[in-house]
Amino acid sequence: MPDGTTRAPRALPFPAGALVVVVVLVVVGVLVARAQHLGPWELGPQERNRFAEQPQYVDPDSRTGQAAWQAEADGRADEAAAFAELAQVPQGIWVTPEERPPGAVGQYVSAVLAAADEAGRVPLLVVYGIPDRDCTGGYSSGGLDVGSYVPWVEEIATAAAPYAAAVVLEPDALASAVECDRRQERVDLLARAVDALAAAGVTTYVDGGHSGWVPARKVAALLREVGVDKVRGFATNVSNYQTDPDEVAWAERLSGLVGGTHYVVDSGRNGAGSPPEDWCNPPGQALGQEPGYVDDGTGLDAYLWVKPPGESDGECNGGPPAGEFWAQRALELIGAS
């Protein structure tokens, strides 16, 4: 029990200044360990290149895979072999409200991500449901109404949260918003989508168009408004044909305008050497370099096949509806026709 006497403080076994030095060294050590990425599981989604950590997941139910099975069943052995080989290259898994509406999309995403997790691979989802989706008059019209969009993305984010996954968010949505006078609506919706995916820890790339479309400074303003600094970065050349050197140069400029964020490039169909004038099923194209992560000191995380190369751009140049597998087109891209 206290006896009411006052005692002098007990002397430390080392000088007081040494304690400060020890604490500083410990803190510095922790920061250095973090900077060296000794434990990638400790990093936030904006700090992680998922594609450098795990191989990319191949969807066994892709349209390309289904085309291979059908060609085999029809006795078209050469086509079946070509499609089967193409189907083994990792490609984006597109999530649309037409196929996966609110109330059902979460179950679908959970199933895909659980299968990828079991395989030890990272899936690439492409979230594609913004209201008035193809507002410039293209072939991919549709999307959700304004009131349903954010809850739909939140359902995706909740389903993805327990898993390692990467998302490309809304191809063309920001770049086309300028052209079709939907700037504020798109910015508001995408900002809320970014918040939902960031809160769930999903590695996210907001689509930024491509080098042959909207100038980098205009895209940068839009990316900043939607909160690209909260996620991993942005995506370029999705479903387009710009060359890798053009895209990387443009993306590096864009990255510098938004604080040095990271990016991915869609290289699925840009192997012909120069971009075509017509973006919709242009003839004479070829597959680009296969997906793979990049670690070269730039902001580039990976080359990806975000748009499955064998799928049509729309009912143009003889193609079927957008997103459907087009056998003739796939064979042309492969160089087998």
Given the residues 59, 132, 172, 266, select the one marked as catalytic. Answer: 172
Query: How many whole angstroms separate alpha carbon 148 and alpha carbon 157?
Result: 15
* CA pair distance 277, 271, nearest whole angstrom: 15
Give the integer Cα–Cα distance in Å for 39 and 43: 8
Q: Where are the alpha helices (DSSP H) in 36-59?
A: 50-53
- Three-point CA angle 309, 310, 312, nearest 5°: 100
Residue 119 backbone phi and psi in degrees, to 5: -80, -5
Beta-strand (E) ranges in 105-245?
Answer: 124-127, 166-169, 203-207, 233-236
Single out the catalytic residue among 59, 134, 195, 301: 134
What distance in Å separates the CA atoms of residue 131 and residue 148, rounded to the nearest whole number?
Answer: 9
DSSP character for 259?
T
Q: Among all chains, which residue has been given the structure tokens 């990792």?
A: 90
246 is catalytic: no
Tell me, yes or no, if 244 is annotated catalytic. no
313 is catalytic: yes
Q: Which of 132, 246, 266, 313 is catalytic?
A: 313
> So which residues are the catalytic ones?
134, 172, 313
